[in-house]
Amino acid sequence: MIKVAIMGYGTIGSGVYEVLDTNREILAKAAGQELEVKYILDLRDFPGSLVEHKVVHDFNVILQDEEVKIVVETMGGLEPACSFVKSCLEAGKHVATSNKALVAAHGTELLSIAREKQVNFLFEASVGGGIPIIRPLYRCLTGEKIEEITGILNGTTNFILTKMDKEGASFERSLREAQALGYAERNPEADVEGHDTCRKIAILTAMVTGREVNYEEIPTEGITKITDTDFKYADALGTSIKLVGSSRMEGGRVHAWVAPLMIGKDHPLYAVSDVYNGILVKGNMVGTTMYYGSGAGKLPTASAVAADIVEAAKHMNSNIPIGWSCEKLAIAPGDDMVYRYFVRVSGNFEDRRDMVEAAFGKCRVAELEGLDEFAFLTGGMKQSRFMENMEILKVELNAEYQKVLQVIRAE
Ligand code: HSE
């Protein structure tokens, strides 16, 4: 029997306990022996609950108990999570975490300690909630040169954007609902400003390049500027708007970014709605593969942690060579990346047709009844070219740059 400790008995931690309890036999068979939760570390007591007698408040109880071989970190945040995980690894305990902030900020060091101590630092649940994505990257796609990863990586924002798109719901109401369902971060700014997606694409980029990624170098834009009017245009154009994180590896350079993306019905991520996440991984031999499932929430995320516990149990005496080295990856500027662009401009299209065409040539145009504005969708062009064309448009619009109401990257 393997003894496990869970640090942090919030939404995910209690979910891990529930998964271990509900699927006890399945997990025991997969791990080759039974898994038992010996301790739960939390500030609270949970009187009258199933776990009451397992609760400890002192981390050292877990650290000093040699019987505890696997520690789950579901506390969230950087401290004390990082110090606790480090101490566990140094003490020769395996660690499974759902904490993407921790993995993105300290993954390099924690992976290196795990290697040195011949234990495992596992983080399947840190990206895509219940979707298997970390393991496919280091097992199934191990013979591939990965050229692109593009994903809807945040359940909360996808839930909000879906509600705005399909129900015309307000941003605030949708966010409140996502919080009530346990999808959102404690501070939802991390979701809506794109920081959570940024950390996840940084982890995936580090996984496929084998090098450390500084997530602060990834240009990141959230969804707070997306409005119901944008969705009306998207509908008129047969498209939708999703928050994506993307990394493209081309000619030895890696471009990564996080931003809203307008996509058409034929895009594989178009149908990824609500709390679901979808991740496209393009390899040089296999072509495009896609991973889909619940990107947030108690049991889906806990299920991924449970799978990591089994992975650790099956590799009790060895380190699985996963992750990245301390060699740093430079994120290249995105000037060369080719995209289309959705642009909204105030005023009547017929009055401004020449100006738009002078800057961008013929574009697909949409007008909504009752609005003194229009939108156009450009053809594909390099980001640098788009910026130049926008300057031309600005001059044509008599330098009233504020007449440009919205710009969204499109594919
Ligand atoms: N807040 C995150 C999300 C939780 O909504 O995707 C899962 O990482």
Provide the mean pLDDT of the chain: 96
Q: Residue 364 corresponds to which tokens in the numbers above?
A: 């697909």
In tens, the pLDDT along 24-50 reads 999 999 999 999 999 999 999 999 999
407's enclosing H/E stretch is strand 404-410
pLDDT at 26: 98
Question: Ligand 1 pocket: which of 124, 127, 156 to mutate (most atoms <8 Å of CB)?
Answer: 156
Q: Which of 69, 200, 242, 282 is catalytic?
A: 200
Strand partners, 146: 283
Distance 262 CA to ligand 1 centre (A): 21
pLDDT of residue 226: 95
- Interval 287-318: pLDDT, tens: 999 999 999 999 999 999 999 999 999 999 99
The neighbour count for residue 376, using CB atoms within 10 Å, is 25
Residue with tokens 């448009």: 393
The pLDDT of residue 401 is above 90: no
Pocket probe for ligand 1: among 103, 183, 199, 244, the residue whose CB has the most ligand atoms within 8 Å is: 183
- % of the chain residues with pLDDT over 70: 99
Helix (H, G, I), strand (E, B) or coil at 138: helix
pLDDT tens for each residue of 328-343: 999 998 888 899 999 9
- Provide, rounded to the nearest whole percent, the portion of the chain with pLDDT above 90: 91
Residue 399 has pLDDT above 70, yes or no: no
Residue 275 — pLDDT band, cuts 50, 70, 90? very high
Asked whether the beta carbons of 124 and 304 are under 8 A apart, the reply is: yes
* Tens-place pLDDT, residues 82-131: 999 999 999 999 999 999 999 999 999 999 999 999 999 999 999 999 99
User: Looking at per-residue confidence, does 260 or 394 come out higher?
Assistant: 260
Average pLDDT over residues 229-237: 96
Please report the pLDDT score of residue 397 as a whole number.
Answer: 82
Q: What is the number of the ligand 1 atom nearest to the C-alpha of 188?
A: 1
11 Cβ inside 6 Å of ligand 1: no
Q: Ligand 1, closest atom to CA 98? A: 8
Residue showing tokens 């605030």 = 172
Whether residue 200 lies in the annotated active site: yes
Three-state DSSP state, 376: strand
Whether 246 contacts 390, CB under 8 Å = no
User: For ligand 1, is residue 302 a contact (CB within 6 Å)?
Assistant: no
Nearest atom in ligand 1 to 178's CA: 5
The SS3 assignment for 371 reads coil
Is 191 near ligand 1, meaning CB less than 6 Å away? yes
Contact 378, 249 (CB under 8 A): no
Q: Please tell me if the CB atom of residue 295 comes closer than 6 angstroms to any atom of ligand 1.
A: yes
* pLDDT mean over 358-376: 95
pLDDT at 398: 75
Gap between the Cα atoms of 259 and 246, Å rounded: 9
pLDDT the model gives residue 402: 59
Residue 394's pLDDT is 85
Q: Is 240 in the pocket of ligand 1 (CB under 6 A)?
A: no
Is the shortest distance between the CB of 204 and ligand 1 below 6 Å? no
The SS3 assignment for 11 reads helix
* Ligand 1 neighbourhood includes 183 CB (under 6 angstroms): yes
Gap between the Cα atoms of 352 and 370, Å rounded: 17
Distance from C-alpha of 273 to C-alpha of 126, rounded to nearest angstrom? 20
- DSSP assignment string, 248-285: EEETTEEEEEEEEEEEETTSTTTT--TTEEEEEEEETT
The alpha carbon of 242 and the centre of ligand 1 are apart by a number of angstroms equal to 15
- C-alpha to C-alpha distance for 114 and 260, rounded to whole angstroms: 36
Could you write out the DSSP letters of every residue in 57-126?
S-HHHHHH-TTEEEEEE---SSTTHHHHHHHHHHTT-EEEE--HHHHHHHHHHHHHHHHHHT--EE-GGG
Task: Report the pLDDT value the prediction gives residue 207, as an integer from 0 to 100.
Answer: 98
